Amino acid sequence: MTPRTCSPAPPLDPALDPDEELARFASALGHPARVRILRFLLEREECFAGAIVEHIPLAQSTVSQHLKVLREAGLVRGEVDGLHVCYCADRVRLRKIGDLVNALTPGPTEPAPAS
Amino acid sequence: MTPRTCSPAPPLDPALDPDEELARFASALGHPARVRILRFLLEREECFAGAIVEHIPLAQSTVSQHLKVLREAGLVRGEVDGLHVCYCADRVRLRKIGDLVNALTPGPTEPAPAS
DNA sequence: CAGCTGTATCGTTTATTGACGGTCAACGGA
DNA sequence: TCCGTTGACCGTCAATAAACGATACAGCTG
């Protein structure tokens, strides 16, 4: 069976200059609870919202808000599955953030932006 | 002459759990003006504060605030050089952020945390 | 259909952030 | 010594974010 992975590709705002884009992602990661949620989702490949709420010592509504922020940044996707909502971290998007950060400091591990 | 590189190694708060640490860094990167400042510093290897203020369409005091945030996150160092303050981006710290983000998504380019 | 359950959203409160002008300390030059 | 320049810091204001309880809503289940 498929391990309940979320839909493959949400759109991404194309009209952002790189600084704004990076700032947007970083901003979404800029709260410990959100990092924690993200890490939790990454550990478990997928899970429904209730599990997250149980894992995080915050009110359900607060967790939902954080999930919304993560969703809007595209770091997380959620899709309704009957009664539950199944959330997944978007690894591709996360990779992209790492790339954006690494691109700031061209160095030994990052050959060159090149053409 | 030395190219005005800043001092080598400021301390780093050791007692932070990884989530908080990442959130802290991300939070510092979470504003377009700060990303822009950082990029500007990275382009120029070093420069004094006035140049940054000229480059960013914000009041001097605002830029100074942003520099403070970047300084407190350890992304930037500034040292007084007579009348000026010489700012440098901390490439090592920036690398570390990239690593922290990439470590979230162990994948093809990131062999494994291993033992 | 009625009720329960899992989530999202609303409205409120408090805390934090962003931007600004003003000011102050440090320094260098006249 | 006096002045101009540089940049940090302070106080203020407005805007945004974080947290919560309450409520609304959608979809099962009886």
Distance, in Å, from the CA atom of B56 to the CA atom of B33, rounded to the nearest integer, reads 8
Q: Is the pLDDT of residue A109 over 60?
A: no
Which is more confident, B8 or A101?
A: A101
- The pLDDT > 70 percentage for chain A reads 80
Q: Which residue of A has its CA nearest to B89?
A: A105
DSSP-derived letter for residue B45 is: S
Distance from CA of B84 to the nearest CA of A (A): 25
Token pair recorded at residue A27: 């901003």
Establish whether the CB of A50 is closer than 7 Å to any nucleic acid atom in strand D: no
Q: Which of residues 2-21 of B touch strand C (CB under 7 A)?
A: none
User: Does residue A26 approach strand D to less than 7 Å at its CB?
Assistant: no
Q: Phi first, then psi: what are they for B78, rounded to 5°? A: -135, 135
Structure token digits, residue A12: 């991404």
Distance CA B66, CA B62 (A): 6
What residues of A are in contact with residue B111 (Cβ under 8 Å)? Answer: none
Q: Which of A97, A8, A87, A92 is nearest to A44 (CA)?
A: A87
Among A60-69, A77-86, B49-58, the minimum mean pLDDT is found in A77-86
B57: nearest nucleotide, CA–C1' criterion: C19
DSSP at B74? T
For residues A107 and B30, which has the higher predicted lDDT (pLDDT)?
Answer: B30
Residue B33, Cβ density class (10 Å: 0-12 exposed, 13-18 middle, ≥19 buried): middle
For residue A95, give the DSSP letter. Answer: H
How many residue pairs bridge chain A and chain B with CB atoms within 8 Å of each other?
87
Percentages helix, strand, coil for chain B (3-state, rounded to 5) are 50, 10, 35
Q: What is the pLDDT of residues A8-28, one digit of tens each?
A: 555 565 556 889 999 999 999
Closest nucleotide relative to residue A71's CA, C1' based: C8
Q: What is the pLDDT of residue B15?
A: 59
For B38, nearest residue in chain A (alpha carbons):
A104
How many angstroms separate the CA atoms of A32 and B21, rounded?
A: 8
Task: Output the average pLDDT for chain A.
Answer: 86
A68-72, A88-92, A110-114, B67-71: which has the minimum mean pLDDT? Answer: A110-114
In tens digits, what is the pLDDT along chain B, a chain of 115 residues? 434 467 655 555 555 688 999 999 999 999 999 999 999 999 987 789 999 999 999 999 999 999 999 999 999 999 998 889 999 999 999 999 999 999 999 876 544 444 3
* Res A9: pLDDT: 53
Does this model's pTM top 0.85? My answer is yes
Question: What are the b/e assignments for B52-88, b being 16+ CB within 10 Å?
Answer: bbebbebeeeebeebbebbbebbbbbbeeeeeebbbb
pLDDT at residue A74 in the model? 95
Residue A50 has pLDDT above 70, yes or no: yes
